[in-house]
Amino acid sequence: MPTPLWTDDARRQHLRRNFFASAIDGGFYQAAMALLAVETFLPALVHQLGGPTWLVALSPSLYQYGFLILPVFVAARTEQLRRFMPLIAWSSIPQRTIPLLSGLALLFLRDSHPRLTLWLVALTPLLISCFGGLNVTAFWQLFAKVLPANRRSSNLGLRNILGTVLGFAVATAGATVLARRGTLEGAGLLYVGSFGFMLLSLVFFCRMRELPHEPPPHDPDHDARARLRSLPTLWRSDAIFRRYVTARVCLTGLGAFTPFLSLHALAALDRPESYVGRFVAAQMFGGILGNLLTAWIGDRWSSRAVVLLGGWLSLLLCAAAPFPLGETGFLVLFALFGAVTFINLNGASTLVLELFPAARRTNCFALSQLLLAPAMLLAALSSAWLRDAAGTLWIGAALAAVLTAAGLRCYYRLPAAAVAE
């Protein structure tokens, strides 16, 4: 007897199960990444391990490169899959094991093999993203397959709220661990804890229900080389794609100063690097607020409204960051940073599902991701250069504000209505 195929009725039948399994899976994964705190804690950790300025600057963005570069090379294969879950599950196993190796190095090898420990820690987000880049296209196709459009923003919001609530609780405890056990040993414990949350994430992901679907016929124009060759034509002919990508590229300008935000705050407050745990907790709290706003605004209005809010809050972050704000002020600043991070990410991720129909979604997603990689790299390297040249955040924050304003203008020029499913 042939296996039943995925239909709208099947999606409705399994919607409750898939909605909560997806949300809890994402919640535990976000909690795991919250413990790594690549935007806040990781730069300070790399700095304490003796990493050079350029590596400190790159460390927050390393988590993105695998997700940005690899999708275009696996998108054609992903389109031909009848089920997306097996690819995601198998590639998730090594992806989720990386923090364990880094945590063990921090706990047991930091004195005997300091350079090995530095590079394991610094490259942890890159390795996670490389394995994740193999499945991210399949993940978003699965996400669109099992959830209707009017449940996607709320699902992203719920999964990230769960993650940031867990992350806030653990980061608050982690701040105590860092203060009592020291930055390096405490970081090792947090990394091992991150591995535990990632395993829980995988367990709940495997609880989702997906039936096979009939993939479209293989199209040679969807192979990696053909996709890359089509990029100039797509860029010239599709104004929506051009504005969407330009907006996202401009928003990467925040990376011109955010890698050194925690070091700037520690220096302004004259606090030890173990104090960064409080900034991580504040960032997680802001993430909760950002995800609540994402869920409410995205489902009530649209993902375009979410990215517009993210753009304006990004401008506020650029304006406030360079000032010596005092302890309370910096905690509020990191809460704003957490909110901005999730609002921008969630809004852009669901916006691509609204702007492009299913037949073009994979190609547009893969190419837009690819174009973000050099922009993020340039922003990170510019932050290192500006840090060495100026010694402050002023120039980097001003540059980020100009780019953010340009990206916000592009978001305003996108259509407000979603495409038909």
Q: Domain containing 23 — which CATH number?
A: 1.20.1250.20
pTM, two decimals, is 0.76
pLDDT of residue 1: 47
Closest to 334 measured CA to CA, from 117, 77, 8, 40: 40
In a domain, 119, yes or no: yes
Q: Is residue 421 part of a domain?
A: no
Let me know: does 335 contact 282? Beta carbons within 8 Å: yes
Is 291 domain-assigned?
yes
Please tell me the predicted confidence (pLDDT) of residue 420: 43
d(CA 162, CA 155): 11
Exposed/middle/buried for residue 407 (C-beta within 10 Å: 0-12, 13-18, 19+): buried
Of 192, 188, 193, give the one whose Cα is nearest residue 166: 193
* Domain contains 101: yes
Residue 366 and residue 71 in contact, taking contact as beta carbons nearer than 8 Å: yes
What's the domain range around 232?
A: 8-412
Distance CA 332, CA 338 (A): 10
- 10-residue mean pLDDT profile of the chain (421 residues): values are 76 92 90 80 88 87 86 81 92 92 93 92 92 88 86 78 77 75 85 91 93 78 76 89 94 90 88 82 84 81 90 95 89 94 87 81 80 88 79 86 96 73 49
Kindly report, residue by residue over 369-411, the tens digit of the pLDDT. 888 889 988 988 888 888 776 667 888 899 999 999 999 999 9
Per-residue model confidence (pLDDT) at position 3: 65
Query: What pLDDT does residue 77 have?
Result: 83
Rg of the chain over Cα atoms, rounded to whole angstroms, equals 21
What CA–CA distance (Å, rounded) separates 285 from 334? 9
pLDDT value of residue 418: 53
Structural domain includes residue 321 = yes
Residue 419 lies in a domain: no
The rounded distance, in Å, linking the Cα atoms of 41 and 274 is 9
Q: What angle do CA 291, 293, 299 make, to 5 degrees?
A: 100
CA distance 193 to 157: 23
Helical residues (DSSP H) of 206-300, grouped into ranges: 224-237, 239-251, 261-269, 276-300
Using the CB atoms, write b or e for 6-28: b if 16+ within 10 Å: beeebbeebeeebbbbbbbbbbb
Total domains in the fold of the chain: 1
* In a domain? residue 190: yes
Close Cβ partners of 382 (under 8 Å, ≥ 6 residues apart): 256, 396, 399
